[in-house]
Structure 1
Amino acid sequence: MTNANKTTLAGLDLAAQSLVGRWRLVLGKDAEAAGVCLAGGAGGEDQQGAEQTLEFVYGEARGAGSAGSALSVPKWIDRVNELFPKQAREVLEREMIQRRGISEILDQPDLLDRIEPNVELVKTLLTHKDLLTPKTRVLARKVIDKVVEELRKKLEIRVQQAITGALRKDRHSPRRVFRNLDLRTTLRRNLRNWNDERRKLFVDRIFFYAAEKNKRPWHVIVCVDQSGSMLESAIFSAVMASIFAELPGVKTSLVLFDTQVVDLTDRVGAPVDVLLSVQLGGGTDITRALEYCSGLVREPARTIVVLITDFYEGRPEADLVRVVARLAGADVRMIGLGALGYDAQPQYNRQTAKKLRKVGMDILSCTPEKLAECMGQIIRG
C-alpha cells in the first residue's frame, strides 16, 4: 500500500478522526500493516496515549511491542482516568487486575482511591481479602461501601414498589375504607352483573384491602452459597436482603453456607459487614443450609425461602430433594437462583435444579428487579 493510500488522522474531519482512531486501537500492532496510521495534529497525542494504555493490559493479545511497558500501574491509572469515559475505565481496570494481578495495588493502597469502584473490583477485593493490610482493608471497605450504596440506590425503589405494593394487596378486609379500595378485584368479581342494554355495571359487592398494620408479616429467608463461583450473586444477595429488611410487613433472615451454616440476620442491614464475612471456597452442603432455614420457619404459608446456589450438592442429592419437598409440602414458597445479578452467567447443576423444580422449587436466574417481581407475585397469591 502506498503512502497516498494510507489513512491518517491529518486532514480528516473530527468524525473521521474518531473512526480511524478507534480502528487503530482495535488493530494495535496490525494497524500500520492495514494502512491505518497516526499523523501529527488533532488527536494524535491522545491517540498514542490511549494505545499505550491498551498495550499495558492487552500487549501480547494485540501483538504489541513494548510501548506500554514504560507505564507503571499508578501512571496507567492516571492515564485511563484522563483518556477514557467511566464505562470504559471500569472495563480496563477490571482487565488490568485480572491480567496483571492485584499485588501491586495491595502494595500501594492509595491506588484503590484512584480506581473506579465497581462490582468486579469488589469481587477482586473479597477474593484477596486475606492479603489486605490494615490500611488497605480500610480503603477496601470504602470501595465496597460505595459500590453497595450505588447498588442500593439503583435497586431499592423498584424492589420496594414490587413488594410493598404486593403486601398491601395480599389480603382483603370487611372494613370499608375508601383509601383501601381494591378496584380491580371489585370490577372483576362483579362482571357478571354487567347490563348490556343499559351499558352499566351493577356492583353488589365491593372489595377492600386489609390495613397493612393488622396483617401478619411475611418472612423472607435469604440463603446464600459462599462458593467462589457464586461471589457476584452473593454481592447482590447481601444488598437485596438489606432492602428487604427495611420493608414494612417483612421479616428478613440472612444465612450464608458452605459445609457450615452462618446466620448473619443480626447484620442484614449492614451488607458491607456481610460481604467481608464471606468465606470463599470449601465444600457445599445445601441440604444442611435448608434444614437450618427450616428451623427458622414459624408460619409456612407466609414464608419465602430464596436459595442462591450453583446446586452442586456435596452430599447425596436425594437428601436435598427430600428437604425441599418437605418445605414445599408445608406451603413454604421456595425460589432457587442459579445466579442473581446483571452480568452473571450461571453455571449451575441443571439436573439437580430440575429435580428440585419437580418437588416445588421455582428455579430462576434473574436480575434483582425480576426477583422482587417474582416475590411480589407470590405475596399477592
Structure 2
Amino acid sequence: MDERVRRWRLVLGGGEADGTGTALRGDDAQMDGALSAVYEGRGGLGSSAPKVARWLGDIRGYFPASVVQVMQKDAIERLELTRLLLEPEMLDAVEPDVHLVGTLLALNAVMPDEARESARRVVRQVVGELERRLEQRTRAAVGGALDRAARTHRPRRHADIDWDRTIRANLRNYLPEHRTVVPARLTGYARRQRGVQREVVLCLDQSGSMAASVVYSGVFGAVLASMRSLKTSLVVFDTAVVDLTDQLHDPVELLFGTQLGGGTDINRAIAYGQGLITRPADSIFILVSDLFEGGIREEMLRRVAAMTQAGVQVVVLLALSDEGAPAYDHENAAALAALGVPAFACTPDAFPDLMAAAIERRDLNRWAELQASRR
C-alpha cells in the first residue's frame, strides 16, 4: 500500500466518504480501531476500566508518548472517562503528564483511598520529570540576574564591567582624533551579597481552566524556595485564600493541597499576598490567573496600583503552560496594562528568563513581545 494513501486513510477514518477505497490490515487496522474509539465513537470505550486500560496499553504500542498524551486527554474529555481515573487499574495504565495531574488534582476531594496512592505515584513521577527539566535553568537564570542586578560604579574585576552601559554613560567623552571613548565613569556588576535579595510571591488561581498552570507554578515555586537568595511564598485561591508556603519543600504535597475549580476572588488573594511583602522595592509579585474576577474589581485594581507605586514588580500570567493563553477577561487585562502591569501567557521553558527579566527590572511588555515573535 502506498504510504501516502495509508496515512490519509488513517486520518480520514474510513467509510465511503473518505475517498481512498482502502482497507487496513494487521497493526494498521488495530491502530485505526484505537483512533476510532476516541475520534469517531466507533466501537467506543464504554465505561469499563479493564477495556479502557487495554486501550491505553494499545495506543502506547502504536504511538509516541507525545501523541499518547494527546489521545489520553481527548479520551477523558470526549468520552467522559474522568470517573474511571478514580480506579487504581486505570491510574496504573495511563501515561503520566501535566494534564493528567491537573485532572487528578481536580478529583482529589472525591478520590477513594485505594486510588490515592496510585494518584500520588503519577503526580510524583510528573513532578520529578519537570524538576529535572526546569530546575537547573531556573537556578542559573535567577542567580545570574541577581548578580547583574547589583550595579556598581566601582566594579572589582574587568569581567564585571557592563560595557554597554559604560559606553552609553561616557559618549560625551568621545575623542574623534583617537576614535575612542574615555570611560571616565565605569558601570558594572557588584558581586551578589549573601542573604535574601528578593521576595517572591506566587499567587495562583485555582479555577478549573488553570490546572496546568497550577502544576507548573507549584514546581517553580519549590525550585525558587530552595534558593537562599530568595524568600518565596505561594498562595492559592478561589473564593478563599490558602497559604501553602510551608509545603514548598514538597511539591507533591503542595499540589495535593490545592482544590481546582470553584469561584474566584482575585482581590482577596492580592490583599493577602500584599501583606506578605516586607521589602516592596525588592519584591516580585506574580499573579497566575485568567482574571475573571468574582470579587471587587475596583479594589483589585487599587491594590495592584498601590503595589507598583511602592516599587513592587507585579507580573500577571494568564497562563503558565505550553498551550498559550486560555479564555481570559480582556477588560481586566487592559486595565492592568494601563497601570503598567503586563498580562500575558508564558511557557514553562520561558519562565526562568522571565524571572531574570523581572529581577533586572527590564521592560516586561517588551520581553513578552519578543517571546511572542519567537513562537
TM-score w.r.t. length of structure 1 = 0.85
Residue pair 2:155, 2:190 contacting (<8 A) in 1 also? no
2:193 is aligned, of 201, 213, 221, to 213
Change (3 A) 1:203 1:361: closer
Match of 1:361 among 323, 341, 355: 341
> What one-letter code is carried by the residue in structure 2 that aligns with 1:58?
Y
Contact 2:150/2:192, CA 8 A, preserved across alignment: no
Q: Any unmatched runs of 5+ in structure 2?
A: 362-375
Equivalence for 1:23: 8
- Corresponding position of 2:27: 46
CA deviation profile, 1:250-293 (whole Å, cap 9, x unmatched): 11110111121111111123221121111123322111111111
Deviations along 1:5-44, one digit per CA (max 9) or x if unpaired, are xxxx2xxxxxx33x222211122232686233136xxxx3
Please report how far the alpha carbon of residue 214 of structure 1 lies from its aligned counterpart in structure 2 after TM superposition: 4.7
Pair 1:290–1:33, CA change in 2 (3 A): closer
Matches of 1:365 and 1:74, distance apart in 2: 35
Q: CA offset at residue 192 of structure 1? A: 3.5
Cα offset, 1:342, TM superposition: 0.9
| Greater Cα offset, 216-225 or 23-32 | 23-32
What amino acid maps onto 1:255 in structure 2? V
Please state whether the residue corresponding to 1:169 is helix, strand or coil: helix
What letter corresponds to residue 326 of structure 2 in structure 1? P
Q: Is the 8 A contact 2:194 2:229 kept in 1?
A: no
Residues 324, 360 of structure 1: 8 Å contact kept: no
Query: By how many angstroms is 1:180 displaced?
Result: 5.8
From 132, 149, 152, the counterpart of 1:153: 132
SS in 1 for 2:148: coil
Q: Number of paired residues?
A: 357
Structure-2 separation of matches of 1:189 and 1:302: 25
Q: CA deviation at 1:115?
A: 1.7
Residue pairs, 1:246-325, within 5 angstroms:
246-325=226-305
Distance 2:31 2:16 in 1: 14
* 1:57 correspondence with 2:38: yes
Q: Is 2:119 the counterpart of 1:140? A: yes
Percent of pairs identical after alignment?
Answer: 35
SS of the residue aligned with 1:76?
A: helix
SS of the residue 1:304 aligns to: strand
Shift of 1:74: 2.5
Kept after mapping to 2: 8 A contact 1:254/1:264: yes
Residue 333 of structure 1: which of 299, 306, 313 is its match? Answer: 313
Whichever residue aligns with residue 33 of structure 2, its letter is Q
- Closer/same/farther in 2, CA of residues 193 and 254 from structure 1, 3 Å limit: same
Letter in 2 for 1:138: E
Worse-superposed segment, 205-214 or 320-329: 205-214
RMSD: 2.5
Matching residue within 188, 196, 218 for 2:168: 188
| Partner residue in 2 for 1:12 | none
Contact residue 318 and residue 328 of structure 2 kept, 8 A: yes
In 1: Cα distance, 2:287 partner to 2:17 partner: 53
Separation in 1, partners of 2:329, 2:231: 30
Closer, same or farther: CA 59–303 of 1 in aligned 2, 3 Å: same
Out of 2, 5, 22, the position equivalent to 1:37 is: 22
Structure 2 residue aligned with 1:92? 71
Cα distance change, pair 96–67 in 1 and its aligned pair in 2 (3 A):
closer
CA distance in 1, matches of 2:102, 2:44: 30
**What residue identity is the alignment partner of 1:27?**
L
Q: CA deviation at 1:224?
A: 0.6
User: For residues 96 and 173 of structure 2, what CA distance do their matches in structure 1 show?
Assistant: 59
Please give the secondary structure, in 2, of the residue aligned with 1:259: coil
Give the alignment partner of residue 220 of structure 2, picking from 240, 250, 256. 240
Tell me the alpha carbon deviations over residues 209-235 of structure 1, each in whole angstroms, 9 at most, x when there is no partner.
Answer: 222125751101000111112112111
Q: Secondary structure at the match of 1:36?
A: coil
**Displacement, 1:116?**
1.3
In the other structure, the counterpart of 2:365 is none
Pick the aligned partner of 1:178 from 137, 140, 157: 157
Q: Please identify the structure whose Cα radius of gyration is greater.
A: 1
Q: Residues 52-94 of structure 1: CA distance to partner in whole angstroms, max 9, x if unpaired?
A: 111222233xxx4x49789922221221121112222111222
8 Å Cα contact 2:154/2:186 also seen in 1: no
**Corresponding residue for 2:364?**
none
Asked whether the 8 Å contact 1:285–1:313 carries over to 2, the reply is yes
Unaligned runs of 5+ in 1: 1-8, 10-15
What secondary structure does 1:361 align onto?
A: coil
1:324/1:116 Cα in 2 relative to 1: closer, same or farther (>3 Å)?
A: same
Code of the residue aligned with 2:341 in structure 1: it is M
Query: Which whole-Å deviations, capped at 9, do the CAs of 1:153-176 have from their partners, x for residues lacking one?
Result: 222333333322211011224665
Distance 1:153 1:293, change over 3 A: same
